[in-house]
């Protein structure tokens, strides 16, 4: 199958460039130094990896930036878009599939592919900047050379289960906290219930006494008693009313106090936020960051120039090496053109130049990392400022609402004070009336009358206290998920919720681990198959162990035995071989249906024989799987970038 | 709450390519609301 590839203004490839790729074949992108090979690879990788919402997740975004795929809006010179252009485009058309990615220099996208899979960045492309190679070289910021937990977590569904589990844990903590609060409230209420019960008992005793005294009291003066009793009842009613109002007043004053506290607290928060805002000088920070980045860019540019020079020399020696292998004698020195040079000298020179190139790569990587850090810190600062501003706005709105509520509460409180005063006056009048009524009674009757009055007074007081308790008990519901429920039900709901959360957390933990295990098993199976096919005889075993660490058994040339070898102590070429195996296994494990696999500037770093073996294997692999296998190759030909298609 | 059913819902959420914080929070909120309703219906 033919794939039509259009690359427009990406990296060094200016204008519209059309290419054809063929599935089931080895597509070798050939060009001289700075001929646009990596730009073309970045174009393909971007259209295959950018998600359909245009946003890489943070883990993938960092990788996209490292691979030069994601436009960095604050540093257009490093963007995917060609320096002289405003818009870049990558299009890929094969079979029924048409995917297009079009973006502006400032990072805004104009068109997005529909099936981009961000895992392609980690699983479908191997270049000198790829995570696998960075890690094996000990140059990854996040993982030790042998730590591949990220691969079985981030590229499988395990990460999703981990994320769900984290949210569940937070919710569970909130629920547990609510349960504790509710239990305390319930405890307080239980004591109120018990007080109410005691008061009700006391009330019963008083009622009994009153009933007992009633016949004697009735004889005192039926008319007087009737009027007195009515007045007494009215006093009792008004006293209850005043109790209720006082309860409401106490609640209202408490709420007003809380509101005043909240108003003060919010004012203090606003002041603190405003102070924080004053301390963030974005313009100043931007100036500093830009200055530093400019310095780093200059340094990178110098290093790249020096690396290009080394690469030029490397090419000359590689050509000389090929020439010498065919002629088996000495050739002219490729650098000076005078004198002759032997095969061994060329090999030594090549080794020396590769080391230098690796040194430059390492320095460039360090500088790029430093630059990313600076850029990240500036973005974080900017985000922090925006968050603070949003928070300030929200606090101001809260303050406004609080002050309005406070005013309304003050009105309610004043009304209650007024009502209480009015009822107190009424009670006073009633008491005076009662006193007058008492004057028409003789001493014996008065004694009975007093006894009766005392009991009635006591009854009224107890009734008030019961009324107050009932009022407090009414205020004891709690809102759970937007529904108001009583405290016991709230506790029951909390317990059920926590139990359910526990079950879900455990389920997510088990599933995440299961996903990791399965991914690791699949990964190891693919590695094993690749080892059989590639026949890298210096290794017997390459696999992930139970802790997802890379385990390598390497041939000891002195004893002829295979022994465990620390990843960090493998030689550069051995690391490259392991990286190739891992990259192919990642591809087959995580994105088996993606039809593209790319090696950028990798083949040249193997010695010629192994490079040829790998190309032969990739050609066979492409034929078996019908993948588009793409490799870049440096040539000395004086012609523009072209694609050489190899295979049956 | 049917735990088996719940596990299926978690699987569905985890299978969506990258469940973000909002979709997870929405899922948890739905579960908690169902627990409240179930408890109130039972009592």
pLDDT tens track for A228-244: 778 888 988 898 888 88
Give one DSSP letter per residue of A180-196, joined into a string: HHHHHHHHHHHHHHHHH
**Contact (CB, 8 A) for A303 and A362:** no
For residues A443-457, give the mean pLDDT. 82
- Least Cα separation, residue A162 to chain B (angstroms): 9
Q: Do B10 and A164 touch (CB under 8 A)?
A: yes
Confidence of residue A377 (pLDDT cuts 50, 70, 90): confident
Instruction: For residues B16 and B24, give the distance between their C-alpha atoms in angstroms, rounded to a whole number.
Output: 11
Confidence of residue A634 (pLDDT cuts 50, 70, 90): confident
Q: What is the pLDDT of residue A232?
A: 83
Percent of chain A with pLDDT over 90: 44
Instruction: For residues A194 and A281, give the distance between their C-alpha atoms in angstroms, rounded to a whole number.
Output: 61
Q: Do B14 and A480 touch (CB under 8 A)?
A: no
Confidence of residue A329 (pLDDT cuts 50, 70, 90): low
- Least Cα separation, residue B24 to chain A (angstroms): 6
Higher per-residue pLDDT: A245 or A471: A245
Whether chain B has a CB inside 8 Å of the CB on A496: the answer is yes
- Whether A74 shows a pLDDT value over 60: the answer reads no
Q: Which residues of chain A have a CB within 8 Å of the CB of B38?
A: 496
- Whether A605 shows a pLDDT value over 60: the answer reads yes
Q: What is the pLDDT of residue A390?
A: 84
Q: What is the pLDDT of residue A589?
A: 93
Q: Return the residue of A nearest to B19 by Cα.
A: A160
Confidence of residue A580 (pLDDT cuts 50, 70, 90): very high
Structure tokens that stand for A177 in this block: 């906290």
Confidence of residue A547 (pLDDT cuts 50, 70, 90): very high
Mean pLDDT of chain A: 88
Q: Which residues of chain A have a CB within 8 Å of the CB of B11?
A: 511
Sequence-distant contacts of A268-275: CB under 8 A, at least 24 apart: A269/A395, A270/A392, A270/A395, A270/A396, A270/A399, A273/A388, A273/A391, A273/A392, A273/A395, A274/A392
- Whether A609 shows a pLDDT value over 50: the answer reads yes
Nearest-CB residue to B15 (from A157, A167, A485): A157
For residues B16-36, give the mean pLDDT. 85
Confidence of residue A349 (pLDDT cuts 50, 70, 90): confident
- If you count residue pairs, one on A and one on B, with CB atoms under 8 Å apart, how many are there? 71
Q: Do A485 and B28 touch (CB under 8 A)?
A: no
Q: Do A481 and B39 touch (CB under 8 A)?
A: no
- Least Cα separation, residue A414 to chain B (angstroms): 39
For residues A66-80, give the mean pLDDT. 67
Provide the ipTM.
0.96
> Which of A333-337, A481-485, A625-629 comes out lowest in average pLDDT?
A333-337
Give one DSSP letter per residue of A349-399, joined into a string: HHHHHHHHHHHHHHHHHHHHHHHHHHHHHHHHHHHHHHHHHHHHHHHHHHH
Give one DSSP letter per residue of A501-522, joined into a string: HHHHHHHHHHHHHHHHHHHHHH
Helix axes A282-327, A343-438, angle to 10 degrees: 150
pLDDT tens digit sequence for A94-113: 999 999 999 888 778 899 99
Q: Do A164 and B21 touch (CB under 8 A)?
A: no
pTM over 0.80: no
- Whether A78 shows a pLDDT value over 50: the answer reads no
For residues A501-520, give the mean pLDDT. 95
Q: Which residues of chain B have a CB within 8 Å of the CB of A153?
A: none
pLDDT tens digit sequence for A183-226: 998 888 888 889 999 999 999 999 999 999 888 887 776 677 67
Q: Which residues of chain A have a CB within 8 Å of the CB of B31?
A: 500, 504
Element (H, E) at B15: helix B3-15
- Whether A75 shows a pLDDT value over 60: the answer reads no
Q: What is the pLDDT of residue B17?
A: 61
- Whether A55 shows a pLDDT value over 90: the answer reads no
Q: What is the pLDDT of residue A471?
A: 80
Instruction: For residues A123 and A587, give the distance between their C-alpha atoms in angstroms, rounded to a whole number.
Output: 5
For residues A606-624, give the mean pLDDT. 89
**Contact (CB, 8 A) for A494 and A173:** no
Whether chain B has a CB inside 8 Å of the CB on A174: the answer is no
Interface of B with A (CB under 8 A): 1, 3, 6-7, 10-11, 13-19, 21, 24-25, 27-29, 31-33, 35-36, 38-40, 43
Q: What secondary structure letter does DSSP report for A107? A: S
- Whether A476 shows a pLDDT value over 50: the answer reads yes
Nearest-CB residue to A167 (from B17, B28, B40): B28
Confidence of residue B36 (pLDDT cuts 50, 70, 90): very high
Q: Do B14 and A481 touch (CB under 8 A)?
A: no
Q: What is the pLDDT of residue A4?
A: 95
For residues A129-138, give the mean pLDDT. 91
For residues A553-558, give the mean pLDDT. 88
């Amino acid at each position: 199958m033919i794939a039509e590839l259009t690359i427009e203004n990406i990296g060094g490839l200016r204008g519209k460039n059309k290419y054809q790729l063929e599935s089931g074949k080895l597509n070798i992108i050939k060009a001289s130094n700075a001929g646009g090979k990596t730009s073309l690879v970045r174009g393909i990788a971007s259209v295959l990896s950018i998600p359909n919402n245009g946003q890489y997740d943070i883990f993938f975004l960092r990788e996209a930036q490292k691979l030069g795929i994601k436009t960095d809006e604050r540093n257009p010179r490093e963007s995917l878009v060609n320096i002289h252009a405003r818009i870049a485009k990558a299009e890929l058309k094969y079979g029924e599939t048409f995917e297009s990615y079009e973006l502006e220099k400032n990072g805004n996208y104009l068109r997005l592919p529909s099936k981009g899979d961000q895992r392609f960045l980690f699983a479908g492309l191997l270049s000198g900047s790829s995570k696998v190679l960075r890690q094996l070289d000990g140059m990854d910021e996040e993982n030790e050379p042998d730590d591949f937990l990220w691969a079985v977590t981030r590229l499988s569904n395990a990460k999703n289960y981990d994320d769900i589990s984290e949210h569940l844990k937070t919710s569970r903590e909130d629920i547990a906290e609510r349960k504790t609060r509710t239990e305390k409230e319930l405890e307080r209420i239980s004591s109120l219930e018990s007080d109410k019960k005691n008061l009700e008992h006391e009330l019963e005793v008083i009622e009994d006494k009153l009933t007992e005294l009633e016949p004697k009291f009735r004889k005192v003066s039926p008319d007087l008693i009737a009027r007195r009793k009515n007045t007494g009842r009215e006093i009792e009613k008004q006293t209850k009313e005043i109790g209720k109002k006082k309860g409401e007043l106490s609640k209202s004053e408490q709420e007003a106090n809380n509101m005043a506290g909240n108003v003060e607290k919010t004012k203090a928060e606003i002041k603190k936020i405003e102070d924080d805002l004053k301390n963030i000088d974005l313009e100043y920070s931007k100036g500093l960051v830009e200055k530093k980045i400019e310095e780093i860019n200059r340094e990178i540019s110098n290093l790249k120039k020096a690396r290009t020079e080394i690469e030029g020399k490397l090419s000359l020696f590689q050509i000389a090496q090929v020439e010498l292998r065919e002629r088996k004698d000495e050739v002219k020195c490729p650098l000076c053109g005078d004198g002759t040079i032997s095969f061994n000298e060329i090999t030594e020179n090549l080794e020396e130049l590769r080391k230098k190139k690796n040194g430059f790569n390492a320095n460039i990587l360090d500088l790029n990392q430093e630059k990313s850090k600076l850029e990240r810190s500036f973005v974080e600062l900017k985000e922090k400022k925006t968050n603070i501003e949003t928070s300030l706005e929200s606090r101001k709105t809260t303050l406004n609402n609080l002050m309005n509520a406070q005013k309304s509460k003050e009105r309610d409180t004043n009304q209650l004070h007024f009502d209480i005063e009015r009822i107190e006056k009424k009670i006073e009048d009633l008491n005076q009336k009662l006193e007058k009524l008492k004057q028409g009674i003789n001493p014996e009757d008065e004694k009975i009358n007093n006894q009766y009055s005392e009991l009635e007074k006591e009854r009224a007081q107890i009734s008030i206290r019961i009324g107050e308790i009932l009022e407090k008990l009414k205020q004891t519901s709690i809102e759970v998920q937007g529904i108001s429920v009583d405290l016991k039900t709230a506790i029951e709901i909390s317990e059920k919720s926590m139990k359910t959360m526990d079950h879900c957390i455990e389920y997510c933990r088990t599933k995440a681990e299961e996903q990791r295990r399965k991914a690791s098993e699949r990964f190891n199976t693919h590695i094993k198959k690749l080892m059989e096919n590639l026949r890298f005889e210096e290794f017997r075993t390459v696999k992930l162990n139970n802790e997802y660490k890379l385990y390598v058994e390497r041939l000891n040339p002195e004893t002829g035995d295979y022994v465990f070898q620390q990843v960090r102590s493998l030689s550069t070429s051995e690391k490259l071989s392991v990286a190739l195996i891992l990259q192919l296994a990642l591809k087959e494990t995580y994105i088996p249906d993606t039809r593209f696999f790319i090696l950028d500037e990798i083949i040249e770093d193997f010695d010629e024989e192994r490079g040829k073996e790998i190309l032969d294997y990739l050609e066979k692999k492409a034929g078996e799987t019908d993948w588009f296998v793409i490799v870049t190759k440096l040539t000395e030909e004086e012609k523009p970038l072209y694609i050489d298609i190899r295979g049956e | 709450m049917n735990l088996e059913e719940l596990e299926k819902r978690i699987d569905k959420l985890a299978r969506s390519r990258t469940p973000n914080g909002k979709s997870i929070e929405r899922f948890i909120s739905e579960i908690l609301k169902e627990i409240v309703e179930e408890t109130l219906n039972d009592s």
